[in-house]
Amino acid sequence: MAELRIAIVASRFNPEITERLIAGAQEALRGQAVTLIHVPGAFEIPLAAKQAAKSGRFDAIVAIGCVIRGETAHFEYISQAASNGIAQVGLETGIPVTFGVLTADTDEQAMARSVSGPDNKGYHAAEAAVEMVRVLRGLR
């Protein structure tokens, strides 16, 4: 398969985690043409992902972010908006948009899911993006 054009849309919030997720995604995407797009937080990922998908410049989008539960309901609102929005982008555009947004109860859980190597959730989301491009091309 020819080189794929992949956008990583990544939240700048919780950078100690998201930078590790981005690194994992980039590792999984070695050999592909990768464009990194930063947004303020997880809530903003769906809009940027939709614009990237509609641009026609990308074969797939990898959404990267981290939302850690706090003492208020904010976690639920942001997590739900991000996950629903990311899913909707793929359904509306037909471009694979994979979910690499951690929704963790603690910093420790987030750190464990952003370790280097193939256990990194950014790595998993990037692998899923490549696989989905292949699946969809096979269905055409």
- φ/ψ of 51, rounded to 5, equals -65, -40
How far from the centroid of its chain's Cα atoms is residue 74's Cα? 20
Residues with Cβ within 8 Å of 19's Cβ and at least 6 positions away in sequence, in order, are none
What pLDDT, on a 0 to 100 scale, did the predictor assign at position 71? 87
Q: One-letter amino acid identity for 26?
A: Q
Summarised one tens digit per residue, pLDDT across range 43-72 is 999 999 999 999 999 999 999 999 999 888
Domain coordinates of the chain in residue numbers? 5-139
pTM: 0.96
> In the CATH scheme, what architecture does the domain 5-139 have?
3-Layer(aba) Sandwich (3.40)
Per-residue confidence (pLDDT) for residue 1, from 0 to 100 = 61
How is the beta sheet containing 33-39 ordered, strand by strand? 33-39, 5-11, 60-68, 97-104
Q: Which of 12, 57, 74, 134 is catalytic?
A: 74
Q: Indicate left, alpha or beta for 9 from its phi (over 0: left) and psi (-120 to 50: alpha).
A: beta
Structure tokens at 128: 């899923």
Condensed to tens digits (0 to 9), the pLDDT of residues 109-134 reads 999 999 998 899 999 999 999 999 99
Q: Is 38 among the residues known to form the active site?
A: no
pLDDT by residue (tens digit) across 80-115? Answer: 999 999 999 999 999 999 999 999 999 999 999 999
